[in-house]
Structure 1
């Protein structure tokens, strides 16, 4: 029998962050249907019918379970992977099948009249760092002086004019393998001479002023609720980018200043997002500087370290508790 009035969770097969939400929904007795879009079409069957104003009906089903499309109350869009097609298909056929799956399967899901966390299109737009920085500044948050360029001359002039160390940041997480080892590119402090590297001209680069820090803050916002935790770095690498060394971090719950809280809420309104994982630097004098927001960022490590009820707030949103 199809699962009715359920939360549809779209994520990868292994996702401990989504597991926290699913466990909480199960504890509340809320039906959950979990799937990865990579299961389509071999392990996930879609049957959808449109009957006038009644909207789309039908089912999304695995071999064991099914969900009634007309009864999906919300979608938790975590980190699903792309639909997978048989290797025996030609490259051309896979390309066509992938495009049709995106427009047909993905389009059908986006047509469901329910709330999404986060809405995929708006989340994708919000991942652009130049857009984030502009909206953050317009929302009243302090942002670092920033340069985006592929010009060595411009980078050199920017570095010379700062009067502070220079930070390079990738626009998106960069991970891969090199000589059989897993590698990642994090934010890094660079010397002024480093911007003379010819590789600067090969693509867009993001450079920012170094902001003196006492500690950093991960602030998770869900539908107006704010959960903030200080992140204290205890190694040289984590003092530059805490993501590079989780083993040497400590955490403490904190409250954001009123102006920062107002700016965060205003920024999410501007981006039309119900959720955001914000990163701030807090200076020794207590000034908060916005670094970035991830519209689908991790929160599990913060909840587990601090006890902040982030998963419960996400479940409240997915259940529509705010409308009760």
Structure 2
């Protein structure tokens, strides 16, 4: 039975993945408040925080309720809209309002006393940097493909001509990109030294030794529970044509599980999605870790188990 303290879910109104977890919380009689701060705070909702030597108070008001922020048991930072400012303002005022909202409202919602965050937004952001992921993964005991991140074309060409058995290029961030005014995704792809031009000097690029993989694996971590899925795809980057991939549950080897636990502890994460390339000799190479990765595309039994694990985290609240 719920103790009455609510769970605050920060996500956009079109996030159907969150809906399954919210239904589980409703079945458990856990009260939930759903908020998309980037848009709702310009559409009738309001947020107030007061700080004094003797304590801290906060109130979220919406059209239907008033929430005492000091009573929030857990915060699920799922997929909130970006802070873009009210649409009825000119560009300068909109930018000003957006930044004030990010640092003000975002700061309030990231500083709720005693709340259990899945994940804390600042930890999410810190864990999204690819160099930090690779550095942490190495310390935690994962196998890593040889990797170079550089804006020096000569360094890049030298790395690409080294006998790795192939080299791939990966963007360091999923930046929106357009070609002929159409959205365009930058996929992981194999490159050769002759293709690398001086344009590399414009910004850092990430090149990585190509793993001679038998298949890919996605490991979703929620607390101390791990859910592994084997991904068989004809493409180097399985995201490219997901309609052609097949997914089947797979056990996570104990050494990998220990490294995952160490990684989560160092990055201060409760939830994360790890991607691995697995060789024919069953070596699991760490590729990346998305601290807020999607999971509802996996097999139904895996998706249901992840939803329950996330609901468990939100229901339990902070460790005492």
TM-score (norm 1): 0.91
1:231 counterpart residue number: 231
2:246 counterpart residue number: 250
Distance of 2:130 and 2:228 partners within structure 1: 21
2:267 counterpart residue number: 271
Deviations 1:218-270 (A, max 9, x none): 0011111111111111x3xxx21111111011111111111111011001111
Closer, same or farther: CA 305–151 of 1 in aligned 2, 3 Å? farther
Distance of 2:10 and 2:132 partners within structure 1: 26
**C-alpha displacement of 1:174:** 3.4
Q: Could you tell me whether the CA contact under 8 Å between 1:162 and 1:209 is conserved in 2?
A: no
Closer, same or farther: CA 87–255 of 1 in aligned 2, 3 Å? closer
Deviations 1:90-143 (A, max 9, x none): 433333322322232122212212011111111101101111011101111001
Distance of 1:47 and 1:102 partners within structure 2: 14
* Matches for 1:188-207 after TM superposition, within 5 Å: 188-195=189-196, 197-207=197-207
Closer, same or farther: CA 303–71 of 1 in aligned 2, 3 Å? farther
The alignment status of 1:34 with 2:34, answered yes or no, reads: yes
Unpaired runs of at least 5, structure 1: none
Q: Could you tell me whether the CA contact under 8 Å between 2:86 and 2:97 is conserved in 1?
A: no
TM-score (norm 2): 0.92
Q: Aligned-residue CA RMSD in angstroms? A: 2.0
Task: Name the structure where helix makes up a greater proportion of residues.
Answer: 1
2:288 counterpart residue number: 292
Q: Could you tell me whether the CA contact under 8 Å between 1:16 and 1:300 is conserved in 2?
A: no
Distance of 2:163 and 2:31 partners within structure 1: 54
Distance of 2:102 and 2:238 partners within structure 1: 35
Q: Could you tell me whether the CA contact under 8 Å between 1:252 and 1:306 is conserved in 2?
A: no
More deviation, 312-321/45-54? 45-54
Distance of 2:318 and 2:306 partners within structure 1: 15
Q: Could you tell me whether the CA contact under 8 Å between 1:123 and 1:295 is conserved in 2?
A: yes
**C-alpha displacement of 1:156:** 1.2
Distance of 2:133 and 2:279 partners within structure 1: 21
Q: Could you tell me whether the CA contact under 8 Å between 2:73 and 2:318 is conserved in 1?
A: no
Unpaired runs of at least 5, structure 2: none
* Matches for 1:66-215 after TM superposition, within 5 Å: 66-113=66-113, 114-195=115-196, 197-215=197-215
More deviation, 14-23/93-102? 93-102
Secondary structure of residue in 1 paired with 2:184:
strand
